[in-house]
Amino acid sequence: MCYVVGHNIDTNQIIPAEYLTLVPSKPDGYKKLGSYTLIGLPVSYETRFIEPGEYQSKYSIIICGDNFGCGSSREHALVDLGATGVAAVVVESYARIFFRNSVTTGEVYPLESEGRICEECKTGDTVTIELAQSLLINHTIGKEYKLKPIGDARPVIEARSWWNLCLCSKSWDDSCLET
């Protein structure tokens, strides 16, 4: 299922600063961090992303408009999305640093739509993503949406970080360190 948000969702809406004291490298901190995902959204979002007392969300895909992840470059904003079970965030555009952090941490697939799908999809719609075809399919309304190809970022995300990708590659060389 998908969770749909609007435009300009900043990192303080994704994870408010008061929860940055949680240490995501510790299993308990990682779990707790997820329970605060998108808790900073305005009260106009009647459907909660995380039910009170839960650590995982029933929504595995977030759909957003423009400028997702703007604001501060806090890495916690990505880690908490991964901690809740989010597999991908599909947006019209990302804040550049958020996109880069998404790739380097490997927590979620940062996908970009070729159109404005946040106005057609609704929270709770059943959606799937076909990475090989660069498609988001909304099964609830029976519509397909073209996504921009993820390209060279895909192996980094699948390895869960660029460092892991370098460690797992068959031949180590300094090209792994180029950014």
Residue burial 31-67, b: 16+ Cβ < 10 Å; e: rest: ebbbbbbbbbbeeeeeeebbeeeebbbebbbbbbbbb
| Cα 60 from Cα 43, distance rounded (Å) | 22
Predicted local confidence at residue 165, as pLDDT: 59
Instruction: Give the full edge-to-edge strand order of the sheet including 2-4.
Output: 2-4, 61-63, 88-91, 109-112
| Cα 41 from Cα 24, distance rounded (Å) | 21
Predicted local confidence at residue 167, as pLDDT: 61
pLDDT tens-digit readout, 2-40? 999 999 999 999 999 998 888 888 888 888 988 999 999
> Can you list the domains of the chain with their CATH numbers?
2-177 (3.20.19.10)
In this structure, of 16-20, 120-124, 161-165, the range with the lowest mean pLDDT score is: 161-165
pTM of the model: 0.85
| Cα 27 from Cα 101, distance rounded (Å) | 21
